[in-house]
Amino acid sequence: MAGKGKVLLSITGFNPQRWYELLSAEREVVLEPEGAADPSIDYAVVWKQKPGLLAKLPNLKAIFSIGAGVDHLFADPNLPAAPIVRVVDENLTQHMVEYVLWRVFDHHRQGQLYRAQQTKKAWHEPPQRPAADISVGIMGLGNLGRAAAEALKAAGFRVNGWSRRPQEVAGVTTFSGDAGLVPFLNATDILVVLLPLTEATKGIISYGLLKELRRRNGLGGAVLINAGRGKLQCDADILRALDDGTLKEASLDVFEVEPLPKTSPMWNHPKVFVTPHAAATSDPTHLVPPMLRQMDAFERGEPLENIVDRTTGY
Ligand code: NDP
Ligand code: OXD
């Protein structure tokens, strides 16, 4: 470990033990609340760190988010200027692709209806449509959105994608920017949200946006799947859209407030499928080795990879 930079580990909301064990196999690691203002700390590995914590580290060289999203970092008004590295990893991407395929297929194959029928012991076969009749639209064509789009295409769906800048994905109809949003929604039956939370995307999933989705397919209504961030959506708008038929169903992995309060009507809503921000869990077994490799490379003078652009916030 001699000559290797020291790491501060600060994880809020779940157990840091495994991260600690894997990081400390190769480097000296201090677990917050130890390490406050320690001048010998070079790197911070964080999830929802306490505001102001990182600004007190005088020699911080890089910040590693243990997730793909970095809005948790920007929630700190005193975030220091050190480069931020986010997760881009095959294992995390595979988890997200599985979640998206699972939820799209469940809505497409009417899982909610069959679960309700089963409770009533009802033997009824509703009409079935092929995947090729359904357009799935993905908001966010980044690392996760692109992989989900490719998997959905391979599964037989028509796929649309929307991003900030124009993007190309083979076999996917792409739209971009403000001008592309309504045409994208008008061509989409099942909306999958894989956007980062930024100033520009906060609250984007509004009632008005959901109204623009297409409703002419064999699903009996439009569907929303959000695995991006909860603050992209307005929970009350989604409930309104479900209750007046603007939306047929929703699968929500993320919520404006997490954990989802016990009083939320989402829990018992017959048209909502809830998962607890579990679409793609960060697994330290897969994510620590590339972090350690990046620290080693950085100390050899090589550039860091997957750095967040502070001007766009993702
Ligand atoms: P990327 O940064 O790779 O991709 C982000 C995509 O969103 C890009 O296509 C980008 O456009 C697009 N985008 C950003 N801002 C806008 C905007 N204002 N208008 C239109 N498009 C926009 O992120 P990832 O794919 O790696 O991750 C996406 C998000 O998924 C994360 O930020 C995180 O919030 C969430 N996530 C959720 C998990 C869960 O378990 N629920 C797990 C992991 C991640 P462009 O291509 O033009 O840059
Ligand atoms: C992430 C997450 O951003 O787990 O990786 O939400």
Around Cβ 215, how many Cβ atoms within 10 Å?
A: 14
> What does residue 42 show for φ and ψ, rounded to 5 degrees?
-100, -35
Burial track 257-281 (b if 16+ CB lie within 10 A, e otherwise) = eeebeeebebeebebbbeeebebbe
Q: Which of 45, 96, 282 is the pocket-test mutation for ligand 2 (most atoms within 8 Å of CB)?
A: 282
**CA dihedral sign, ordered 250, 255, 259, 264:** negative
Residue having the nearest C-alpha atom to atom 1 of ligand 2: 67
Q: Is the CB of 68 under 6 A from ligand 2?
A: yes
Does this model's pTM top 0.85? My answer is yes
Residue 43's DSSP bridge partners are: 7, 62
Q: Do 93 and 146 form a contact (C-beta atoms < 8 A)?
A: no
Known catalytic membership, residue 129? no
Residue 229's DSSP bridge partners are: none
Burial track 153-168 (b if 16+ CB lie within 10 A, e otherwise) = beeebbbbbbbbeebe
Alpha-carbon distances of 187 from 103, 131, 137, 245, rounded to whole Å = 19, 15, 8, 18
Q: Give CA–CA dist 209/182, Å, rounded.
A: 8
Alpha helices in the chain (DSSP H): 17-24, 71-74, 90-108, 111-119, 143-154, 177-186, 207-211, 235-243, 284-299
According to the model, what pLDDT value does residue 101 have? 99
Residues of the chain with pLDDT under 70: 217-218
Q: Which ligand is nearest to the CA of 143?
A: 1
Q: Each residue of 236-277: pLDDT tens digit?
A: 999 999 999 999 999 999 999 999 999 999 999 999 999 999
Rounding to the nearest 10 degrees, give the CA dihedral for residues 140, 135, 182, 215: -140
Residue having the nearest C-alpha atom to atom 37 of ligand 1: 228
Q: Do 107 and 152 form a contact (C-beta atoms < 8 A)?
A: no
HSE on the CB side for 199, CA within 13 Å? 5
Length of the chain: 314
According to the model, what pLDDT value does residue 217 have? 64
According to the model, what pLDDT value does residue 218 have? 67
According to the model, what pLDDT value does residue 90 have? 97
Q: Active site residue: 229, 240, 269, 300, which one?
A: 229
- Give 119 Cα–ligand 1 centroid separation in angstroms: 38
According to the model, what pLDDT value does residue 259 have? 96
Q: Give CA–CA dist 213/294, Å, rounded.
A: 42
Q: Do 232 and 264 form a contact (C-beta atoms < 8 A)?
A: no
- Give 51 Cα–ligand 1 centroid separation in angstroms: 23
Known catalytic membership, residue 108? no
Residues with CB under 6 A from ligand 1: 67-69, 96, 140-145, 163-165, 167, 194-198, 200-201, 227-229, 253-254, 277, 279-280, 314
